[in-house]
Amino acid sequence: MVLLPTLLLTWSSLAYGLSSHAFHALGPQAVKLWRLEKINFTQPLDHFDKTNKFTFSQRFWVNAQFYQPGGPVILLDGGETSGTDRLPYISTGVAAKIANATGGLALVLEHRYYGNSIPVANFSTDSLRWLTNEQAMADSANFMANVNLSAVTGIPGDFTAPKTPYIYYGGSYAGARSAHMKVTYPNLVYGAIASSGVTHAAVNLWEYYDVIRNATPQCSPVFSKAIETVNIALSNKDLNGPVKDMFGLTGLTDADFASVLADVPLGGWQNSNWDPSVGSDSWTPFCEMIAKPPAAPAPQTRVLGNMTVDFGFLNLVNYIQQNFVSRCLRTNQTIADCFSTANDTSLQEDDLSQTWRPWQFQVCTAWGFFMVSPPPAGVPPMVATPITIDYLSEICKQAYPPGEHFKVPPLPNVEDVNRLGGFFIAADRLAIVDGELDPWRPATAHSSYAHLPPRQDTTLRPFKLIPQAVHHYDENGLADQSLEPPQIQDIHNEEIAFVKAWLKDFKPPKH
Ligand SMILES: *[C@@H]1O[C@H](CO)[C@@H](O)[C@H](O)[C@H]1NC(C)=O
Ligand SMILES: *[C@@H]1O[C@H](CO)[C@@H](O)[C@H](O)[C@H]1NC(C)=O
Ligand SMILES: *[C@@H]1O[C@H](CO)[C@@H](O)[C@H](O)[C@H]1NC(C)=O
Ligand SMILES: *[C@@H]1O[C@H](CO)[C@@H](O)[C@H](O)[C@H]1NC(C)=O
Ligand SMILES: *[C@@H]1O[C@H](CO)[C@@H](O)[C@H](O)[C@H]1NC(C)=O
Ligand SMILES: *[C@@H]1O[C@H](CO)[C@@H](O)[C@H](O)[C@H]1NC(C)=O
Ligand SMILES: *[C@@H]1O[C@H](CO)[C@@H](O)[C@H](O)[C@H]1NC(C)=O
């Protein structure tokens, strides 16, 4: 299996420590905590073509343990992963906290094409054509307007929007969706929180790695220097082969070789969480390791052709050999099997087990976020020069050959996303919450690269940057809030406070 140059937008299910078993272990609370694997909402496959009569089942879960009569619904958007990955957030995380403080129902709504909410028989190009932002937003709107939560919870009442106030929450891609829902369906979404909401889609997101570089000064200069050495070696015909040999990656193209090295920062920093049971940061331990000179008698330098390479470079060689090369060879595959992206046949396997395909399709059609080597002169690179937009977008051509009904565009139509507001997205009762050290921050309204005018942080339009935080750090929460780090307790308290203030103004529409 090829290791895909996947653009992780969220915690990968592997890195993600919590699974649904954490949800089962809730003890007495489970009395009022419905585990709704069986509960589906029927959605049309196509909300805009009424001649298309196909429907599918969208899965959702409700936690009613905090409910008080008259309370709101806190809808947590599942985003680009199985909804089961999000269940902790309605039992102890942000949606549970807001529900607890407001007497609300907390629910997770799974996104079409993810988890069990799969509307199609395979992930071919044609079958993926209903995976658009417009269709997925229309799912949420239809759900809010029509779901019968009374039938599900046994609690009498009408829980549809706009009679019941809905507070829409999402993190990362789902954070962008949360903001998009607020501006697209303002009559259904009473309030929304966009956490690490990547509302500015971009073909080129070189800044992703630059955030990591700036956040980790203890090692990033050593790592950048090693990448610069790789760049020099790759562009020298006498060293191009030897440098790949040194890493044990003989025979790969320059870009596939560079892509293995890019796998170290990619996701490694983003996957961190303040709660070690939820996320794990593989970048920081790597970072400590690469910056450490070897103990004598190990050599501090080696010769590569006519160049001398130092211990930082040698540490990177060791790390790649141990963590990528040896692991690949232990499975009896070749380096090409593991790391070459040349095999279109394997990339075109489109059965439903290829769960990487829906998000990659969204990347290729709408979102982009190709994380390339830095274009500005003088910025130290965290990935090598061959990591270009051409290279990272090649998979869009390889994996999604033109269908009968749909063709993936040469580059994603990011304008379709950005016309909803991009960096400037704003609305009353739309909160924008980001992490100071989030590598996705450059795609949010808190980008420090886009030279944005300052925004006020008000109760009606909260605009909050969590200090020392990475990716949607507020989404996770502990049952005992006092055990959370101070800045996480603070953001949870602020979120509770502004949602309560919003709800004070709620007036149900007159019939
Ligand atoms: C919900 O939908 C899934 C997938 O279509 C199906 O397997 C399951 O039986 C449905 N459950 C109910 C209660 O309808
Ligand atoms: C709900 O809120 C109350 C009051 O702040 C708190 O004491 C309690 O621990 C919370 N319960 C949960 C399950 O978060
Ligand atoms: C994918 O599903 C569609 C619709 O069900 C079907 O027409 C098509 O033949 C399938 N493609 C493959 C490769 O199985
Ligand atoms: C919702 O479900 C309940 C229980 O099944 C039923 O009594 C009620 O009529 C339903 N409400 C609507 C609006 O369909
Ligand atoms: C190494 O050799 C290449 C030509 O093969 C040359 O361009 C480069 O300047 C040399 N580097 C050093 C440090 O001598
Ligand atoms: C790799 O091949 C060796 C020798 O054929 C065999 O003993 C071993 O079980 C294989 N390992 C895996 C992971 O397939
Ligand atoms: C390409 O991938 C296909 C399907 O996974 C596999 O059967 C084939 O052996 C691969 N070809 C090469 C040259 O590795």
Contact (Cβ atoms closer than 8 angstroms) between residue 364 and residue 400: yes
Which residue, judged by its Cα, is nearest atom 4 of ligand 7?
346
The ligand that comes nearest to the alpha carbon of residue 32 is: 2
> Residue 295: which pLDDT band, with cuts at 50, 70 and 90?
confident
Other beta carbons less than 10 A from residue 388's beta carbon: 16
Could you tell me the distance, in angstroms and rounded to a whole number, from the CA of residue 40 to the centre of ligand 1? 6
* pLDDT, averaged across the chain: 91
Per-residue pLDDT, 421: 98
Per-residue pLDDT, 31: 36
The angle that helices 311-320 and 240-247 make with each other, rounded to 10 degrees, is: 60
Q: Which of 149, 150, 152, 163 to mutate to test the pocket of ligand 4 (most atoms within 8 A of CB)?
A: 150
Per-residue pLDDT, 376: 85
The ligand that comes nearest to the alpha carbon of residue 331 is: 6
- Kindly report, as residue ranges, where domains of CATH 3.40.50.1820 are found in the chain: 5-201+417-504
Structure tokens at 262: 């890019």
Q: Which amino acids bring their CB within 6 angstroms of ligand 2?
A: 100, 479
Q: What is the DSSP string of 416-459?
A: HHHTTTGGG---TTEEEEEETT-TTGGGSTT-SSS-PPP----S
Q: Which of 45, 123, 124 to mutate to test the pocket of ligand 3 (most atoms within 8 A of CB)?
A: 124
How many Å apart are CA 384 and CA 373, to the nearest integer?
Answer: 6
Q: Tell me the mean pLDDT in the region 389-404.
A: 97
Indicate the helix (H) or strand (E) that contains 135.
helix 133-146
Could you tell me the distance, in angstroms and rounded to a whole number, from the CA of residue 13 to the centre of ligand 1? 23
Q: Which of 116, 118, 147, 352 to mutate to test the pocket of ligand 1 (most atoms within 8 A of CB)?
A: 116
Per-residue pLDDT, 51: 97
333 lines ligand 6 (CB under 6 A): no
Of 172, 178, 224, 340, the active-site residue reads 172
Q: Which of 57, 58, 114 to mutate to test the pocket of ligand 1 (most atoms within 8 A of CB)?
A: 57
The ligand that comes nearest to the alpha carbon of residue 481 is: 2
57 lines ligand 1 (CB under 6 A): yes
pLDDT in tens, 226-285: 999 999 999 999 999 999 999 999 999 999 999 999 999 999 999 999 999 998 899 999
Which residue, judged by its Cα, is nearest atom 1 of ligand 6?
332
Which residue, judged by its Cα, is nearest atom 10 of ligand 5?
306
146 lines ligand 4 (CB under 6 A): no
> Residue 33: which pLDDT band, with cuts at 50, 70 and 90?
low
303 lines ligand 5 (CB under 6 A): no
Sequence-distant (6+) residues with CB within 8 A of 44 are 52, 53, 54, 55, 142
Cα distances from 161 to residues 34, 62, 154, 171, 186, in angstroms, run 21, 16, 18, 22, 11
Q: 486: buried, middle or exposed (CB in 10 Å: 19+, 13-18, 0-12)?
A: exposed
Catalytic site residue 140?
A: no
pLDDT in tens, 75-128: 999 999 999 999 999 999 999 999 999 999 999 999 999 999 999 999 999 999
Per-residue pLDDT, 35: 53
The atom number, within ligand 7, closest to the CA of 340 reads 14
pLDDT in tens, 142-152: 999 999 999 88
Of 275, 438, 447, 474, the active-site residue reads 438
The atom number, within ligand 3, closest to the CA of 120 reads 5
How many Å apart are CA 448 and CA 462, to the nearest integer?
Answer: 18
Per-residue pLDDT, 39: 84
Could you tell me the distance, in angstroms and rounded to a whole number, from the CA of residue 134 to the centre of ligand 3? 23
Which residue, judged by its Cα, is nearest atom 8 of ligand 4?
151
Could you tell me the distance, in angstroms and rounded to a whole number, from the CA of residue 262 to the centre of ligand 5? 25
Best CA proximity match to 94, nearest among 439, 501, 479:
479
The ligand that comes nearest to the alpha carbon of residue 351 is: 3
| Percent share of the chain, pLDDT over 90 | 86
Other beta carbons less than 10 A from residue 28's beta carbon: 8
Which residue, judged by its Cα, is nearest atom 12 of ligand 4?
148
Catalytic site residue 91?
A: no
Is pLDDT larger for residue 36 or for residue 332? 332
Q: What share of the chain is helix, strand, coil (3-state, %, to 5)?
A: 40, 10, 50
Mapping DSSP to helix (H, G, I), strand (E, B) and coil, where does residue 72 land?
Answer: coil
Per-residue pLDDT, 294: 81
Could you tell me the distance, in angstroms and rounded to a whole number, from the CA of residue 119 to the centre of ligand 3? 12
The architecture that CATH gives domain 5-201+417-504 is 3-Layer(aba) Sandwich (3.40)
Contact (Cβ atoms closer than 8 angstroms) between residue 487 and residue 468: yes
Q: Which amino acids bring their CB within 6 angstroms of ligand 3?
A: 121-122, 124, 127, 350
How many Å apart are CA 223 and CA 428, to the nearest integer?
Answer: 43
452 lines ligand 4 (CB under 6 A): no
Could you tell me the distance, in angstroms and rounded to a whole number, from the CA of residue 38 to the centre of ligand 1? 6
